[in-house]
């Protein structure tokens, strides 16, 4: 019996063992194939990064080599610097550097990218490179050369010692405190060197992209928790039986604020609000009520939002966009002064489309950009004169005057024209001084409806 059973089971067990071996072999082959593919990708990105940094160094040198009055060559050179910097940033993103400190180099490249882009898009015939910018380019030429040399050193060592990027990834995820890897050490050395470079004056357009808003920018004196309680009670129309709790955030930092939580018997949901500590200005408002089924239009909700802002002290606000997501609506308002829309002074309002009541808003842009009696420049051209510069196929539906910030973060007085072209809806901001296009935005039908009101 045992002989017969063995005769039956033996070939079955043998087949199973062979099957397991084949399966294991295939799994191992597939794993190796994936690792080889990843290694090849890392190697390619690594060599591309070294190549693009070398090209970047050369391109900056070429830009410096021409005459200081060669505006066309400067524009072309800056465009090439921007392209090469973007490619270098893309190469870095393809390497397993998420856990390896390389942020100083990435930040450095980001600033070069923004500087070169802002320079390439401006009219260099009217605003040629300044002596300060020429000096910056010389510094960037020197620094980019040092970074290139550092990367090429890492590249040479990796080739000489047959180092693999998969080993780098393994070293970074290991729990060892000391990472002894030439590639890791090389990148740390490059990043440390970049961190030691003296700060460059990138100019207001680039610097504004990295400026962090701080309570120090605001006017007014610091307020107490009791002040915030009174402000929150008034804004939320809380009765005498309401419970208000105030917590302080970011004490000792550049973003000191208060959060007020209001619970009232007259309101079914909790209301929360954030205020700046300096000046006690309201940054955000959120009503946590449940939103029911949609029963009002976005236009009806906009009418209620208009009333809400006026009642809460935000006068002369105009809706410029309107979006709908399910049973919620989002409206963007900007302030108006002497008939001019001030786009930097922005408030975003959220409404429930069950009854159209406001459920929240975000006013940080308004808080930091609002100016009493803002000085608005006088236009050099009329709206009709600038209108002649529009695309002849553009079907205008509305027009108005607006103050915006351009790509260089400069405030520019514009004429805003809304309308249709090529089957889509747009608004165009044209410089009121020379008629040039400053910004183009595609719109939804609801945006146009909001704009015309």
Per-residue confidence (pLDDT) for residue 306, from 0 to 100: 94
H-helix or E-strand spanning residue 191: helix 182-195
At 311 the three-state DSSP class reads helix
What domains does the chain contain, in order, with CATH numbers?
2-210 (no CATH), 383-452 (3.10.450)
* Residue 445 pLDDT exceeds 90: no
Per-residue confidence (pLDDT) for residue 447, from 0 to 100: 65
Are the C-beta atoms of residues 429 and 404 closer than 8 Å to each other? Answer: yes
* Residue 429 pLDDT exceeds 60: yes
CA angle (42 as vertex; 37, 43 as ends), nearest 5: 95
**Residue whose tokens read 């290694």:** 39
| Residue range 425-437: mean pLDDT, rounded | 93
| Residue range 347-366: mean pLDDT, rounded | 92
Question: How many helices (H) and strands (E) in the chain?
Answer: 12, 12
Percent of residues, the chain, with pLDDT higher than 90: 32
Per-residue confidence (pLDDT) for residue 18, from 0 to 100: 61
* Residue 30 pLDDT exceeds 70: no
* Residue 201 pLDDT exceeds 70: yes
| Residue range 88-114: mean pLDDT, rounded | 78
Percent of residues, the chain, with pLDDT higher than 70: 80
| Residue range 84-88: mean pLDDT, rounded | 88
Q: What does the mean pLDDT of the chain come to?
A: 82
Listed range (170-174, 420-424, 436-440) with the worst mean pLDDT: 170-174
Residue environment code for 183-206, b if the CB has 16+ CB neighbours within 10 A, otherwise e: bbebbeebbebbeeeeebebbebb
Distances in whole angstroms, Cα of residue 133 to Cα of each of 63, 102, 137, 203, 446: 12, 26, 6, 8, 44
Q: Which has the higher per-residue pLDDT, 11 or 436?
A: 436
| Residue range 20-36: mean pLDDT, rounded | 56
* Residue 25 pLDDT exceeds 80: no
On the CB side of 191, how many CA atoms lie within 13 Å of its CA?
16
| Residue range 43-59: mean pLDDT, rounded | 86
Determine how β-strand 340-352 pairs with β-strand 358-362. Answer: antiparallel
**Residue whose tokens read 């419970």:** 243
**Would you give the DSSP letter of residue 437?**
E
Which tens digits make up the pLDDT trace of 286-310? Answer: 998 888 899 999 899 999 999 999 9
Per-residue confidence (pLDDT) for residue 179, from 0 to 100: 43
**Would you give the DSSP letter of residue 127?**
S
* Residue 452 pLDDT exceeds 60: no
Provide CB contacts within 8 A for 285, sequence distance 6+: 235, 271, 272, 273, 358, 360, 361, 363
CA 112 and chain centroid, separation: 17
pLDDT band at 275 (very low <50, low <70, confident <90, very high): very high
Per-residue confidence (pLDDT) for residue 4, from 0 to 100: 59
Per-residue confidence (pLDDT) for residue 21, from 0 to 100: 56
Are the C-beta atoms of residues 169 and 96 closer than 8 Å to each other? Answer: yes
On the CB side of 147, how many CA atoms lie within 13 Å of its CA?
30
* Residue 280 pLDDT exceeds 80: yes
SS3 assignment for 263-307: ECCCCCCCEEEEEECECCCEEEEEECCCCCCCCCCHHHHHHHHHH
pLDDT band at 177 (very low <50, low <70, confident <90, very high): very low
Per-residue confidence (pLDDT) for residue 28, from 0 to 100: 53
Which tens digits make up the pLDDT trace of 214-270? Answer: 555 677 788 899 999 999 999 988 877 889 999 988 777 767 889 999 998 878 789
Per-residue confidence (pLDDT) for residue 15, from 0 to 100: 60
Q: Name the burial class of residue 56, with classes exposed (0-12), middle (13-18) and buried (19+) by CB atoms within 10 angstroms of its CB.
A: buried
pLDDT band at 180 (very low <50, low <70, confident <90, very high): very low
Listed range (149-158, 378-387, 416-425) with the worst mean pLDDT: 149-158
Provide CB contacts within 8 A for 393, sequence distance 6+: 421, 422
pLDDT band at 320 (very low <50, low <70, confident <90, very high): very high
Distances in whole angstroms, Cα of residue 154 to Cα of each of 150, 192, 218: 6, 14, 47
pLDDT band at 416 (very low <50, low <70, confident <90, very high): very high
């Amino acid at each position: 019996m045992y002989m017969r059973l063995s005769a039956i089971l033996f070939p079955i067990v043998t087949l199973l063992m062979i099957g397991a071996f084949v399966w294991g072999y295939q799994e191992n082959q597939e794993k190796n194939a994936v690792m080889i593919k990843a290694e090849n990708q890392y190697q390619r990105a690594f060599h591309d990064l070294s190549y693009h940094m070398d090209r970047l160094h050369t391109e900056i040198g070429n830009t410096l080599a021409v005459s200081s009055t060669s505006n066309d060559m400067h524009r072309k050179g800056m465009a090439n610097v921007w392209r090469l910097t973007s490619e270098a940033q893309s190469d870095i993103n393809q390497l397993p550097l998420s856990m390896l400190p390389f942020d100083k180099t990435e930040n450095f490249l980001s600033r070069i990218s923004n500087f070169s882009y802002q320079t390439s898009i401006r009219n260099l015939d009217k605003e040629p490179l300044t002596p300060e910018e020429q000096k910056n380019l010389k510094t960037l030429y020197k620094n980019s050369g040092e970074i290139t040399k550092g990367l090429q050193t890492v590249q040479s060592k990796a080739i000489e010692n047959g180092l693999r990027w998969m080993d780098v990834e393994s070293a970074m995820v290991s729990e060892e405190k000391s990472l002894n890897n030439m590639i890791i050490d090389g990148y740390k050395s490059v990043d440390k060197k970049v961190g030691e470079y003296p700060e460059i004056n990138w100019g207001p357009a680039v610097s504004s992209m990295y400026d962090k808003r701080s309570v120090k920018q605001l006017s007014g004196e610091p307020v107490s928790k009791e002040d915030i309680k009174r402000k929150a009670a008034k804004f939320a129309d809380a009765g005498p039986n309401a419970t208000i709790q105030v917590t302080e955030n970011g004490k000792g930092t550049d973003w000191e604020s208060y959060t007020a939580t209001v619970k009232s018997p007259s309101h079914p949901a909790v209301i929360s609000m954030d205020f700046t500590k300096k000046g006690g200005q309201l940054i955000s408002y959120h009503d946590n009520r449940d939103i029911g089924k949609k029963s009002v239009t976005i236009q009806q909700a906009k009418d209620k939002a208009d009333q809400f802002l006026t009642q809460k002290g935000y006068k002369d606000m105009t809706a410029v966009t309107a979006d709908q997501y399910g049973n919620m609506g989002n409206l963007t308002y900007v302030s108006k002064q002497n008939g001019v829309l001030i786009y930097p002074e922005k408030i975003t309002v959220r409404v429930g489309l069950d009854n159209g009541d406001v459920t929240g808003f975000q006013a940080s842009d308004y808080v930091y950009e609002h100016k009493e009696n803002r000085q608005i420049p006088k236009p050099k051209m009329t709206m009709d004169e600038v209108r002649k510069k529009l695309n002849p196929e553009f079907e205008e539906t509305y027009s108005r005057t607006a103050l915006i910030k351009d790509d260089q973060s400069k405030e520019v007085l514009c004429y805003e024209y809304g309308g249709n072209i090529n089957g889509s809806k747009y608004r165009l901001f044209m410089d009121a001084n020379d008629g040039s296009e400053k910004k183009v935005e595609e719109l939804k039908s609801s945006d146009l409806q909001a704009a015309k009101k």
